[in-house]
């Protein structure tokens, strides 16, 4: 907030008695999905924004670089599969209760008991508070990305939840409408279908700069035209990343700034490997080679300098363990596609591919039409199905109801490739929105497990490199492009974490840390 000295004169004294000394600053932004406030159930982008502001975690990704730094923790030590964390002694929850090691244990056990959101990251993990400031995690087996996974364990105020849980063992009702964290912003109201309102928590242990917003209004489900009009009228500040490219272009021409978040994920066309004809690897490879990757990337370009993605080089996004170099881009190869189709066990004349797209993401319809045109060049018929997200998530729980092709953005929720790839491709994790391929490949399983348990970064790089090659060979997925999120924003807000690579977190959603934003007086 911009605070200016107030000099009361005879002429201004009366006004000063009835007006605030400074204006409240309000940050207004929107997201597509419904906002889930319970931190143990958080999984998508809107949930992450809420979680990273209302709650804190033991560690955070290092800004502008690799590795992790202490946050609620002061330090940690690793001994095989045992991790000992020492907590800061100057942290209080928003309730005023002090942070204790018991709160960390409670947060882990609560997430595991509910089994929702990203709780799968903590399977086989136990925790014990050895004193007020020390918590020891014990893993059933070595897990190389464990520290990275802790960015998805928000710490909950056990005493507050216990006092408000009623007959609800884990306080789900209370935490679905109220915050119970140590974060820099408190929840003042929450309607998961419409809007969450948050206010700065000035007692935050790291402080909240004066220039950070006083209040935040996170709205859900605004139409693209509405967002464009509101920003043009200075009644909105940051759009979601899901606006069509032409709307983003128009907003940039109108003077909006474009913010970017280079995440650790990609846009995927996922093929149901259990359903004919995609149970035949040659048919899958035919479709993968027929896809027009270059046109897909052009479709997401915003300006000459800013795009919502870059060409994919393989199954693993550029820059992650095991990825191919940036100049090794995947390209359409119609001759190869036709050769693979010749080897396919199914007659092209009998094939009718269902291509689905998510109703809340209109851009996906255009990709479906592009794909349909590409398949026509092979003599393959297809039809397009529009599915609301809730219906899609329900359908993919059964392989028989899962479309032949599903379009999805998937990200490494901890910034580590394990949380991008394991949930998609390991045979133990079928039937989720991330894994409509229903892949069951022993080699893929082995490489994924090696990536989890390798003792060094070099060994992890080797494991993911062979995994990348294997996935390209068996083609459970068409790898559309590596993803970059783009947001249109008014000029009254500055977001260093979304505009300066040296301050970027490398983790989706964390760039929306409100205490690091600056409201600009115009």
Position 22 scores a pLDDT of: 60
pLDDT 10s digits, 257-272? 999 998 689 999 999 9
Whether pLDDT at 10 is above 80: no
Does residue 449 share a domain with residue 421?
yes
The percentage of residues in the chain with a pLDDT greater than 90, rounded to a whole number, is 82
Does residue 451 share a domain with residue 318?
yes
Whether pLDDT at 450 is above 50: yes
| Domain presence at residue 24 | no
Confidence of residue 5 (pLDDT cuts 50, 70, 90): very low
Whether pLDDT at 179 is above 90: yes
Q: Which of 520, 279, 243 is nearest to 399 (CA)?
A: 279
Higher pLDDT, 375 or 116: 375
Among 175, 210, 237, which residue terminates a domain? 175
Confidence of residue 112 (pLDDT cuts 50, 70, 90): very high
| Domain presence at residue 28 | no
- Burial readout 502-514 (b: 16 or more C-beta within 10 A, e: otherwise): eebbbbbbbbbbb
Among 151, 175, 199, which residue terminates a domain? 175
| Domain presence at residue 23 | no
pLDDT 10s digits, 332-358? 999 999 999 999 999 999 999 999 999
pLDDT 10s digits, 205-240? 999 999 999 999 999 999 999 999 999 999 999 999
Confidence of residue 466 (pLDDT cuts 50, 70, 90): very high
Does residue 354 share a domain with residue 229?
no
Position 8 scores a pLDDT of: 31
Does residue 42 share a domain with residue 130?
yes
Residues in the chain: 522
Taking the C-alpha atoms of residue 286 and residue 339, their distance in angstroms, rounded to an integer, is 8
Report the run of H or E that residue 356 belongs to, with start and end: strand 352-358
Question: What CATH number does the domain containing 499 carry?
Answer: 3.40.190.10
- Residues 267-278 have a mean pLDDT of 98
Which of 241-245, 300-304, 364-368 reaches the highest mean pLDDT? 364-368
| Domain presence at residue 513 | yes
- Residues 127-131 have a mean pLDDT of 98
Residue 99 DSSP code: P
Whether pLDDT at 6 is above 50: no
- Residues 174-190 have a mean pLDDT of 97
Whole-Å CA distances, 143 to 102, 207, 419, 455? 23, 34, 12, 9
Residue 390 has which token pair? Answer: 């809730």
Position 522 scores a pLDDT of: 59
Position 64 scores a pLDDT of: 87
Position 263 scores a pLDDT of: 67
Does residue 326 share a domain with residue 472?
yes
Cβ atoms within 10 Å, residue 82: 11
Question: What CATH number does the domain containing 355 carry?
Answer: 3.10.105.10
488, 248 contact by CB (below 8 A):
yes
**Residue 328 structural domain:** 265-483
| Domain presence at residue 322 | yes
Confidence of residue 456 (pLDDT cuts 50, 70, 90): confident
Residue 339 has which token pair? Answer: 């050769």
pLDDT 10s digits, 386-436? 999 989 999 999 999 999 999 999 989 898 899 999 999 999 989 889 999
Taking the C-alpha atoms of residue 165 and residue 387, their distance in angstroms, rounded to an integer, is 36
- Residues 174-199 have a mean pLDDT of 97
- Residues 59-69 have a mean pLDDT of 89
- Residues 99-128 have a mean pLDDT of 95
Whether pLDDT at 9 is above 80: no
Place of tokens 């650790």: 264
- Residues 378-384 have a mean pLDDT of 98
Three-class SS state of 282: helix
Compute φ and ψ for 188, nearest 5 degrees. Answer: -100, -25
pLDDT 10s digits, 308-338? 999 999 999 998 899 999 999 999 999 999 9
| Domain presence at residue 302 | yes
Does residue 276 share a domain with residue 247?
no
Partners of 156 in beta bridges:
none
Count how many domains the chain has.
Answer: 3
- Report, in angstroms and rounded to the nearest whole number, the Rg of the chain calculated over CA atoms: 24
Whether pLDDT at 15 is above 70: no
Position 180 scores a pLDDT of: 98
Does residue 380 share a domain with residue 365?
yes
Compute φ and ψ for 518, nearest 5 degrees. Answer: -130, 120
Position 50 scores a pLDDT of: 97
- The 3-class secondary structure across 391-426, one letter per residue, is HHHHHCCCCCCCCCEEEEEEECCCCCCHHHHHHHHC
Position 19 scores a pLDDT of: 40
Does residue 479 share a domain with residue 330?
yes
Whether pLDDT at 14 is above 70: no
């Amino acid at each position: 907030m911009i605070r200016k000295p107030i000099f009361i004169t005879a002429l201004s004294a009366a006004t000063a008695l009835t007006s605030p000394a400074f204006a409240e600053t309000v940050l207004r932004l929107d997201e597509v999905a419904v906002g889930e406030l319970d931190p143990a159930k958080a999984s998508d982008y809107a949930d992450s924004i809420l979680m990273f502001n209302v709650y804190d975690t033991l560690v955070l990704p290092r800004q502008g670089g690799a590795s992790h730094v202490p946050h609620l923790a002061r330090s940690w030590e690793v001994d095989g599969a045992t991790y000992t964390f020492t907590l800061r002694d100057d942290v209080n929850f928003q309730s005023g209760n002090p942070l204790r090691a018991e709160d960390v244990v409670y947060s882990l056990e609560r997430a595991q008991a509910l089994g929702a959101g990203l709780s799968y990251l903590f399977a086989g993990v136990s925790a014990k508070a050895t004193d007020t400031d020390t918590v020891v995690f014990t893993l059933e087996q070595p897990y190389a990305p464990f520290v990275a996974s802790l960015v998805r364990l928000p710490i909950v105020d056990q005493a507050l939840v216990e006092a408000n849980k009623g007959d609800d063992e884990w306080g789900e009702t209370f935490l679905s409408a109220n915050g119970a964290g140590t974060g820099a912003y408190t929840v003042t109201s929450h309607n998961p279908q419409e809007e969450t309102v948050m206010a700065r928590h000035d007692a935050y242990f790291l402080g909240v700069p004066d220039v950070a917003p006083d209040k935040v209004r996170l709205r859900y489900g605004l139409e693209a035209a509405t967002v464009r009009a509101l920003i043009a009228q200075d009644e909105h500040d940051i759009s979601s990343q899901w606006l069509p490219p032409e709307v983003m272009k128009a907003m940039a021409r109108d003077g909006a700034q474009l913010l970017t978040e280079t995440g650790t994920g990609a846009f995927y066309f996922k093929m149901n490997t259990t359903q004919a004809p995609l149970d035949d690897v040659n048919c899958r490879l035919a479709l993968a080679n027929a896809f027009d990757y270059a046109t897909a990337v052009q479709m997401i370009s915003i300006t000459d300098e800013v795009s919502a993605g870059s060409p994919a080089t393989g199954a693993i996004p550029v820059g992650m363990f095991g990825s191919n170099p940036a100049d090794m881009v995947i390209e359409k190869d119609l001759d190869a596609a036709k050769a693979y189709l010749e080897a396919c066990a199914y007659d092209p004349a009998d094939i009718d591919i269902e291509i689905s797209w998510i109703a809340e993401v209109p851009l996906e319809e255009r990709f479906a039409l592009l794909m349909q045109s590409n398949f026509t060049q092979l003599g393959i018929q297809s039809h397009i199905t529009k599915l609301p997200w809730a219906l899609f998530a329900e359908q993919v729980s059964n392989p028989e109801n899962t479309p032949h092709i599903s379009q999805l953005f998937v990200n490494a929720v901890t910034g580590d490739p394990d949380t991008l790839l394991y949930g998609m491709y390991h045979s133990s994790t079928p039937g989720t929105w991330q894994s409509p391929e229903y892949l069951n490949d022993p080699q893929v399983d082995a490489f994924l497990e090696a990536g989890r348990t390798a003792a060094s970064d070099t060994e992890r790089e080797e494991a993911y490199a062979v995994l990348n090659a294997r996935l390209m060979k068996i083609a459970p997925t068409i790898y559309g492009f590596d993803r970059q999120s783009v947001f249109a924003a008014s000029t009254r807000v500055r977001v260093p974490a979304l505009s300066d690579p040296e301050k970027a977190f490398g983790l989706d959603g964390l760039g929306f840390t409100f205490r690091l934003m600056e409201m600009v007086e115009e």
